[in-house]
Amino acid sequence: MDDIDLQKTLIERVKKVLEGFTLANNSADPAHVNVYRQELPAKKDKNDESHFPYVLVCLDEEEIRETDDGLAGVYFVIGVKDNNPDKIGHLDVARIMNKLVESFLERPLVGMKYRLQFPIRKKFQEEETHPYYLGGISTFWTLPQPNIKETEYD
């Protein structure tokens, strides 16, 4: 049982899935999508936006069980900056979410020990924040049952 290893494994999966991904406004050039663990890096200055586009892979709640595999919640936050006046940045967010979900459905086992559980939830931002667009995916993964050691005093 190791939620930290699960997060690391999912970060590797996200990076692989998004290799060569292109943005809707620039389909000619692959966009480098930054993948971060848990939170965005500190800004270098007030106007630093070098972290866009990005995917955050974040640990959430976890349920540890005595007799069954545990469950670890992992959510993914997708952020895109798109200055296009047509306001289509949400399409890039949707495309990233779709690529990730498709990958999880095709191969629901990661790290040879963490299995995706259903449902998967996707959510888009509700407010207008142009030129910034956000979305998220919420997932649960099984964690192998912990090794409970019985002693003569139990």
Give this prediction's pTM: 0.89
Q: Is 128 helix (H, G, I), strand (E, B) or coil?
A: coil
Q: Please state, as a whole number, how many other Cβ atoms lie within 10 Å of the Cβ of residue 139.
A: 21
The string of DSSP codes covering 80-99 is: EE---TT--HHHHHHHHHHH
Residue 20 has pLDDT above 90, yes or no: no
What is the predicted pLDDT for the residue at 28? 61
Residue type, 133: Y
Residue 29 has pLDDT above 90, yes or no: no
What is the predicted pLDDT for the residue at 50? 87
Residue 10 has pLDDT above 80, yes or no: yes
What is the rounded distance in angstroms from the CA atom of residue 31 to the CA atom of residue 59?
25
pLDDT digits (tens, 9 = 90+) for 45-92: 888 888 999 999 999 999 887 778 889 999 999 999 998 888 889 999
What is the rounded distance in angstroms from the CA atom of residue 103 to the CA atom of residue 107?
6
Topology of domain 3-41+49-143, per CATH? STM4215-like (3.30.2000)
Domain coordinates in residue numbering, the chain: 3-41+49-143
pLDDT digits (tens, 9 = 90+) for 87-143: 889 999 999 999 999 999 999 999 999 999 999 999 999 999 999 999 999 999 999
